[in-house]
Every structure is written in structure tokens, then in C-alpha cells.
């Protein structure tokens, strides 16, 4: 039964990530992966909020493991960072990778403290 909760949350998180990513990509022509950055930071913030309120098991499976797990995307983050390096945009790559990691931790803490 736990797999079902994670699966439902994962489906919803993946669909949200896809939709939001496409909407941001329509408005961004810079080549910088703002969509993935915003998605990962907002996902970290949501997970921080969620872990702060400590929901019951099934709710956490649905929203934490499922939704946030599928909504945020480490593989896309790595792919886009690598492509920035490959495209000789080293400064953009460093800003993106270091910024995502640093701001991601800050977003998680902000979400956690927001709900504390």
C-alpha cells in the first residue's frame, strides 16, 4: 500500500515539474536553466515545510517521498550543469551548480523554519 501513496505523489510531482518547467522555458531564452533551479529550490522549501510539521506516515509518503521526490530533479540538474560546461559557459555552470546546492539548503531551512 505504501508504494501506491508514493506512486500517486510521484505522478503528481512529475506532472507539476514538467508543466512548470515548460512554462518557464517559454519565457526564458537566456540558455540558463532557471526552470530546474526554481523547481529544485521550491521543492527543497516544500520538503522543509513538510518535515517541520511531521505529517503522519501516509501523508509523508504521498507528499515527501512521492511528490517532492518526483518534483525535484537531480538528474536534470546534473545534465544541465554538464551541458553548460560543455558549451563553454563555465561561469554559468559554476553559478548554477554551486547556487543550486547552497540555495537549496537555504530553501529547505526556510521551509522548515516557516512551519516551525
Q: What is the pLDDT of residues 50-93, one digit of tens each?
A: 999 999 889 999 999 999 999 998 989 999 999 999 999 999 99
Q: What is the pLDDT of residues 4-16, one digit of tens each?
A: 999 999 999 999 9
Number of DSSP helices (H) and strands (E) in the chain, helices first: 6, 0
* pLDDT, position 73: 87
The CA–CA distances, whole Å, from 40 to 7, 31, 87, 107 equal: 20, 17, 22, 9
The CA–CA distances, whole Å, from 19 to 7, 14, 22 equal: 18, 9, 5
**Residues near 60 by beta carbon (within 8 Å), at least 6 away in sequence:** 50, 54
Amino acid at each position: 500500500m505504501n508504494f501506491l501513496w508514493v506512486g500517486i505523489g510521484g505522478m503528481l510531482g512529475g506532472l507539476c515539474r514538467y508543466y512548470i518547467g515548460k512554462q518557464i522555458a517559454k519565457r526564458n531564452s537566456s540558455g540558463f536553466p532557471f526552470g530546474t533551479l526554481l523547481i529544485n529550490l521550491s521543492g527543497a522549501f516544500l520538503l522543509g515545510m513538510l518535515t517541520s510539521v511531521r505529517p503522519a506516515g501516509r501523508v509523508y509518503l504521498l507528499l515527501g517521498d512521492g511528490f517532492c521526490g518526483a518534483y525535484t530533479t537531480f538528474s536534470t540538474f546534473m545534465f544541465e550543469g554538464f551541458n553548460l560546461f560543455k558549451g563553454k559557459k563555465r561561469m554559468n555552470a559554476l553559478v548554477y551548480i554551486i547556487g543550486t546546492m547552497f540555495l537549496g539548503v537555504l530553501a529547505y531551512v526556510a521551509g522548515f523554519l516557516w512551519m516551525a
